[in-house]
């Protein structure tokens, strides 16, 4: 019986595999450590024996140093490209994803650079409404990131993870993400997003009474959001007020909801059970 041929190397744009991603991170780390050790040994050998040593040894030492320097330049080039990659994904998602795939195929990237590329992929999958993948990618980055540049985006990844899990009706998972979010300091923008996700979670678990606690302050904070997000939070708070028996707040908020939300947005929110 002829065995099946081995599968081709995983296309970076295929369905996300957390084990494969962790394996790539481990190989990056191990390979870079090995090359660093070899480059240090080669440098010491050149200092001790000089160019008068064995020609083969000198060539090997210079080769190792050259490979290490090339890896450093490649990592720096990818790092510089990260801001432009975000803009490209906004303007042209297809071209941005193709470039993201090219960057992710590079070998022996610095750990934080590969994690930042995964972060970009999580955002892209979220925009594509591939929520299971965006949640898996965000969870992988959150559980493998160490202190450094990638860890500074932890708040955004937790917001993405909480929203993806709400979309997937994974309420325990959403609660875990929201709980960690409440334990960490966040800026105003992330605090507003956290408020909207928490309100959505409270409605999903049947706790409108929790959603209306401090409703006046929540309404004031909603006014700081862009129009669609402001309207969505007003609608959720109005629904919570109605279900919790606060008819005065429901009557006060609903005209604002109709002003801010279009018919399509309201229909979508009703269809998803938010209001």
Report H helices in the chain: 18-49, 55-91, 93-104, 111-127, 131-144, 154-167, 171-182, 188-204, 208-211, 215-222, 227-243, 247-260, 263-271
Asked whether the beta carbons of 15 and 133 are under 8 A apart, the reply is yes
Express each pLDDT in 133-157 by its tens digit.
999 999 999 998 776 666 788 999 9
Does residue 170 register a pLDDT over 80? yes
Asked whether the beta carbons of 160 and 126 are under 8 A apart, the reply is yes
Average pLDDT, the chain: 86
Comparing 40 with 230, the larger pLDDT belongs to 230
Does residue 127 register a pLDDT over 80? yes
Q: What is the pTM of this model?
A: 0.82
Query: How many whole angstroms separate alpha carbon 227 and alpha carbon 237?
Result: 15
Residue 228 tokens, joined = 């669609």
Asked whether the beta carbons of 232 and 220 are under 8 A apart, the reply is no
Query: How many whole angstroms separate alpha carbon 268 and alpha carbon 217?
Result: 26
Residue 99 tokens, joined = 């470039």
**Ramachandran quadrant class, 90 (left: phi over 0; alpha: psi -120 to 50; beta: rest):** alpha
pLDDT the model gives residue 66:
72
Residue 24 tokens, joined = 């790539």
pLDDT the model gives residue 49:
64
Asked whether the beta carbons of 61 and 143 are under 8 A apart, the reply is no
pLDDT the model gives residue 149:
67
Express each pLDDT in 197-244 by its tens digit.
999 999 999 999 999 999 999 999 999 999 999 999 999 999 999 999
Q: In the predicted model, what is the mean pLDDT of residues 157-185?
A: 95
Query: How many whole angstroms separate alpha carbon 57 and alpha carbon 45?
Result: 9
Number of Cβ within a 10 Å radius of residue 191: 14
Nearest to 194 by CA among 240, 152, 229, 146: 229
Query: How many whole angstroms separate alpha carbon 130 and alpha carbon 124?
Result: 9
For the range 252-261, what are the long-range contacts, defined as Cβ-Cβ under 8 Å and sequence gap of 24 or more?
A: 253/219, 256/231, 257/231, 259/231, 260/227, 260/228, 260/230, 260/231, 260/234, 261/228, 261/231, 261/232, 261/234, 261/235
93-104 vs 55-91: helix crossing angle, rounded to 10: 160
Asked whether the beta carbons of 43 and 50 are under 8 A apart, the reply is no
Please, which residues have CB within 8 angstroms of residue 133's CB and are 6 or more apart in sequence?
Answer: 15, 16, 125
Does residue 99 register a pLDDT over 70? yes
Query: How many whole angstroms separate alpha carbon 220 and alpha carbon 206?
Result: 24
């Amino acid at each position: 019986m002829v065995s099946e041929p081995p599968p081709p190397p995983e296309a970076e744009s295929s369905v996300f595999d957390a084990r494969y991603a962790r394996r790539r991170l481990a190989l990056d780390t191990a390979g870079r450590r090995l090359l660093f050790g070899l480059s240090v040994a080669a440098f010491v050998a050149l200092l001790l024996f000089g160019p008068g040593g064995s020609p083969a040894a000198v060539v090997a030492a210079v080769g190792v140093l050259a490979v290490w320097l090339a890896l450093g330049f490649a990592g720096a080039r990818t790092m510089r490209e990260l801001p432009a990659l975000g803009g490209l994904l906004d303007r042209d998602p297809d071209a941005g994803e193709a470039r993201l795939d090219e960057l992710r195929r590079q070998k022996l990237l610095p750990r934080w650079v590969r994690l930042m590329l995964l972060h970009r992929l999580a955002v892209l999958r979220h925009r594509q409404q591939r929520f299971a993948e965006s949640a898996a990618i965000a969870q992988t980055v959150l559980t493998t990131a160490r202190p450094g540049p990638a860890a500074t985006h932890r708040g955004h990844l937790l917001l993405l993870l909480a929203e993806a899990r709400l979309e997937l009706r994974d309420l325990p998972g959403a609660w875990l993400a929201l709980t960690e979010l409440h334990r960490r300091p966040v800026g105003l923008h992330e605090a507003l997003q956290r408020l909207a996700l928490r309100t959505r979670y409270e409605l999903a678990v049947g706790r409108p009474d929790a959603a209306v606690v401090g409703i006046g302050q929540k309404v004031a904070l909603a006014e700081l959001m862009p129009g669609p997000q402001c309207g969505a939070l007003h609608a959720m708070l109005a629904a919570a007020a109605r279900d919790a028996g606060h008819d005065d707040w429901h009557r006060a908020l609903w005209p604002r909801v109709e002003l801010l939300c279009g018919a399509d947005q309201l229909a979508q929110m009703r269809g998803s059970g938010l209001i």
